[in-house]
Amino acid sequence: MKDNSFAVDYKYDSSADVLAVKVKRDFSYHETIEMDEGILLDFDVNNVPISLEVLDASKRFNVPKYSLHNLFSFNMNVCVNDDCIKIDVTIGVSIHNKQKDSVLSSLINNYANIPNMETELVTA
């Protein structure tokens, strides 16, 4: 892990098809940024990303629902500059006993004026 990375836990609700990822450390929630419809990124009071919620996760990652219950890896890079917020999420899943990486990317304008930063959220 990099110095500016944070370990995360995740939960997957197959009936709602929602993947929720949250940092393992204590934090004080500040605001939610909707990256795309159904992709929600939360920041703490220090403007550090603390959680990600992905609705319709199996469709967005193009994997079967059962594979999202046991991720073997999760990595999300968050890059914020004056103009935009960009996330690149890579999950590792097992499909029919074969490991597969699936990627989700999103880019929006930095309308919330989050300060410039780059960080990573990863499974430990």
The pLDDT tens digits for 6-56 are: 899 999 999 999 999 999 999 999 999 999 999 999 999 999 999 999 999
Average pLDDT, the chain: 94
The identity of residue 7, as a single letter, is A
Where are the strands (E) in 1-124, listed by range? Answer: 5-13, 18-23, 29-36, 39-44, 49-55, 73-80, 84-95, 98-109, 117-123
Mean pLDDT of 66-74: 95
Per-residue pLDDT band at 85 (split at 50, 70, 90) = very high
Per-residue pLDDT band at 5 (split at 50, 70, 90) = confident
pTM of the model: 0.92
pLDDT at 111 exceeding the cut of 60: yes
